[in-house]
Amino acid sequence: MNLKKKAFELRKDVVEMIYRAKSGHIGGDFSLMEILVDLYYKQMNLTPENFKDADHDRFILSKGHAIEALYVVLADRGFFPKEDLDTFGTFGSKYIGHPTNKVNGIEMNTGSLGHGLGVGVGMALAGKMDGKNYRVYVVMGDGEVAEGSVWEAAMAGSHYKLDNLTAFVDRNHLQISGTTEQVMNLKSQENRWAAFGWNVISIPGNDLDAVDNAVALAKKIKDKPTVIIAHTVKGFGVSFMEDKLVWHHRVPNDDEYQAALQELDRRGARYE
């Protein structure tokens, strides 16, 4: 399947999961779907077969609340049966509302924000020390980069010249309690990361080709880590959810559920 269409099909799976469980973070899931699709279907050396090996690429979803997007991608890639997700959010299920390494394919428990990049730095440094060729990918939310620990990790990443590390900032300008600029001024991400010694690539983050080009470019950079500032739209794919704070954590009602699936169908069909 065309991967641009795939990103819309996977969003439909997210809608189904969240509608069924009556819980989830649909806006943030939709915001980063093109990033996940590019990494898991094109760029990463990470499969159900090599996940337990020492040489596979590492992925950390530091904005752990966007777990529904990661679950549907992992299921589609064969890390576990898709039917397992029918239990999402139910008592006793391991498919909970944040990443847990009890689930096959998940590297790190996340969701307490600000921790993923530091762990990613450690994994990338370990790879260098052990002479491994794996790469490390970390996806952060833009609200998340208000955490001080992110910037400690950023310093360490450039200090150790971790060119095997690529971070993303999902720059959708919204977080749980308002716009990012209301909560904590984050302008300009590009200048801030450059000042910390990172290679910076700025892209439209819901454009799969742009994501793919940026990830490929990052692989060629030597002696510095790369951050991809992905300018995205929260809720991307369903017009009434796009750039609307309420969809950070809202569950679609019956009418919204139907309308969302129909629009995702329609927009995905452009890529057949």
Interacting residues with Mg ion (CB under 5 A): 141-143, 172, 174-175
Q: Is the CB of 156 or the CB of 174 nearer to Mg ion?
A: 174
Nearest distance in Å: CB 56, Mg ion: 28
Nearest distance in Å: CB 143, Mg ion: 5
Q: Is the CB of 141 or the CB of 225 nearer to Mg ion?
A: 141
Nearest distance in Å: CB 170, Mg ion: 6
Nearest distance in Å: CB 249, Mg ion: 12
Q: Is the CB of 143 or the CB of 225 nearer to Mg ion?
A: 143
If DSSP states are collapsed to H, E and C, what string results for the chain?
CCHHHHHHHHHHHHHHHHHHHCCCCHHHHHHCHHHHHHHHHHHCCCCCCCCCCCCCCEEEECCHHHHHHHHHHHHHCCCCCHHHHHHCCCCCCCCCCCCCCCCCCCCCCCCCCCCHHHHHHHHHHHHHHCCCCCCEEEEEECHHHHCHHHHHHHHHHHHCCCCCEEEEEEECCEECCEEHHHHCCCCCHHHHHHHCCCEEEEEECCCHHHHHHHHHHHCCCCCCCEEEEEECCCCCCCCCCCCCHHHHCCCCCHHHHHHHHHHHHHHHHHHC
Q: Is the CB of 127 or the CB of 143 nearer to Mg ion?
A: 143
Q: Which residues pair with residue 166 across a beta bridge?
A: 137, 226
Q: Is the CB of 78 or the CB of 178 nearer to Mg ion?
A: 178
Cβ atoms of 138 and 168 within 8 Å: the answer is yes
Nearest distance in Å: CB 232, Mg ion: 8
Q: Is the CB of 29 or the CB of 142 nearer to Mg ion?
A: 142
Q: Is the CB of 143 or the CB of 268 nearer to Mg ion?
A: 143
**CA dist 166 to 94, 121, 177, 250, 266, Å?**
28, 10, 28, 31, 33
Nearest distance in Å: CB 234, Mg ion: 6
Nearest distance in Å: CB 172, Mg ion: 4
